[in-house]
């Protein structure tokens, strides 16, 4: 079955290296906690808040060696008062896990976005 796993991380600053480091940390946490294999991934969707525009988070594909996996980046809706400098991701992948066995990851300041998912 195709499942989706979500995650978010607050990026330290709007610099290329910070965005890539945050994307890599988030992806590695999701991959490890859900035992995701690139061969089972259908697509990866990143969004960033408007102030993160120094690079595309999808460049993390190279460090993951996920060259054949489709990645897409988009801009998050600019909601007044929302947490800033947030990078979000949705990975769609084939798995036998039940929905309640999927381990979403909200790291750093982004933990405040989904306190209900703390395990």
Contact 86, 74 (CB under 8 A): no
How many distinct structural domains can be found in the chain? 1
CA angle 108, 67, 74 (to 5 degrees): 50
Q: Does the residue 74 lie in any domain?
A: yes
In a domain, 97, yes or no: yes
Domain range spanning residue 108?
2-113
> pLDDT tens, 77-109?
999 999 999 999 999 999 999 999 999 999 988
User: Is residue 119 assigned to a domain?
Assistant: no
CATH number at residue 107: 3.30.1330.40
* 118 assigned to some structural domain: no
Q: How far apart are CA 59 and CA 71, in angstroms?
A: 9
- pLDDT value, residue 75: 97
Residue 29 lies in a domain: yes
Q: Quick: pLDDT tens for 4-62.
A: 999 999 999 999 999 999 999 999 999 999 999 999 999 999 999 999 999 999 999 99
Residue owning tokens 């460090």? 63
pLDDT of residue 119: 54
Which pTM value belongs to this model? Answer: 0.94
């Amino acid at each position: 079955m195709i499942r989706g796993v979500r995650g978010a991380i607050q990026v330290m600053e709007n610099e290329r290296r910070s965005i890539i480091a945050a994307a890599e940390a988030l992806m590695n946490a999701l991959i490890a906690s859900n035992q995701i294999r690139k061969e089972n991934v259908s697509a990866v969707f990143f969004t960033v808040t408007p102030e993160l525009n120094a690079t595309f988070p999808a460049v993390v594909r190279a460090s993951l060696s996920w060259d054949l996996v489709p990645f897409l980046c988009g801009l998050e809706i600019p909601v007044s008062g929302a947490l800033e400098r947030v990078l979000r991701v949705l990975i769609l992948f084939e798995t036998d896990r039940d929905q309640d066995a999927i381990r979403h990851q909200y790291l750093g300041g982004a933990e405040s976005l989904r306190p209900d998912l703390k395990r």
